[in-house]
Structure 1
């Protein structure tokens, strides 16, 4: 039986560009170029490695987002994923992480899965809770923040490295896992992979395909909201202290005034 792996990926604003909020205080995704979240590249890489070690496996990349989110899917397909699914609907605008987990859980069930692989967090929201929410909605085990993982004998096993200890974890399939940026460098798409990605299947779904109502998602269905946002003040010139033997005292006074010491 083929091992079905679904990788949840996200199309995010480029962190090197100018990022901000739109008038409705959602992320302004038109002000900056978008790309596949770097942390999700590690998830794609681990899914591909597991698939390569399996006798038979299929890797599907899944995203929810605007039309341009297909760019993230094409990147994952060019890395080696077999097919892609894009959930796109105007009513998804402003969906929070709880709504996102609902949509993705429905899409994962639509695709069919044995293992769902996620990055440790998105590079725009940075919450890191989606894998746990997704596992809860699917009713399957979660094994998160792994720096190493493998699948064999109907189980996923992995290593989680903490500040004070290392944990070795396992769970029966089906399961949801998330991987950290220490799990292994993501492969760079080859020219052959980029060309092949253009011919791989990419399915588009909307809310009706997932039996969801607009009121369950978007800003209307969100349980969290941004009430206000203020632009970060422009960086000002720092204070320069000429050290003529009293530099340490000046530094200590500066830190004490700001209650750092």
Structure 2
């Protein structure tokens, strides 16, 4: 079984956030593999190992830095497909799902594994949208994934408890951070990653056309307001009354 793991190069979270003049995130600095994607890659590798299959990486990125993909290839993925086109700048989540769907079809993958959300976009919608684009069932927010015959079974946490959900293959799975412990790349894997194929494809090569209304225009970007200092109550024998008065002023009591 071939499994496609969706990955995303994101700006280094340890560096200051920078924006372009159009308000979009500046991606020209150092990029790294999104930490959340390492869990998806690990789950994909385990599914492939359980079925005697292989893992291919799929990403939509305009970065020319190969390091993030090489990091995932070093874990054990055999190849990477990259959708890169200047027309994709500012693409919304649904367009991202359409592009990833084209990569899935091109790869011949039967199962897709994604993170729950990316560290730069935080939409949390791409996995479900990708499943809709492909016409496959979606198993989202999985904290545990296993393969049982021609079905994938996941456990997911809900407000009412832990749910066990199954879906037939093909399907799309999104996994939560901490669902597994990602393996470390071995020296052999790091060396092998340098020769594993990375294929870059344009929209035309994927047979896709980008709708103009599928591009985000950033209207405004501003810093989040600072947190106001809390009120400190020193216990000098009147602390209980002071706390009651404070809550009463907030109309909590």
One fold, TM greater than 0.5? yes
The answer on whether the counterparts of 2:116 and 2:140 sit within 8 Å (CA) in structure 1 is: yes
1:243 and 2:246 matched? no
- Structure 2 matches for 1:31-110, cutoff 5 A? 32-54=29-51, 56-68=52-64, 70-110=66-106
> Structure 1-normalised TM-score?
0.86
Taking only aligned residues, the RMSD between alpha carbons, in angstroms, comes to 2.4
The answer on whether the counterparts of 1:78 and 1:196 sit within 8 Å (CA) in structure 2 is: yes
Distance 1:169 1:258, change over 3 A: same
Q: 1 CA distance for matches of 2:67 and 2:204?
A: 23
1:145-173 C-alpha deviation (Å, 9 max, x unpaired): 11111123211111112232111111111
Structure 2 residues without counterparts, runs of 5 or longer? none
Q: 2 CA distance for matches of 1:182 and 1:115?
A: 20
Q: 2 CA distance for matches of 1:257 and 1:82?
A: 62
Count of aligned pairs between the two proteins? 252
Q: Secondary structure at the match of 2:64?
A: helix
Distance 1:249 1:117, change over 3 A: same
Query: Following TM superposition, by how much is the alpha carbon of 1:80 offset from its aligned partner in structure 2, in angstroms?
Result: 0.8
The answer on whether the counterparts of 1:120 and 1:179 sit within 8 Å (CA) in structure 2 is: yes
1:189 and 2:185 matched? yes
> Structure 2-normalised TM-score?
0.89
Distance 1:90 1:260, change over 3 A: farther
Report what 2:214 is aligned to.
222
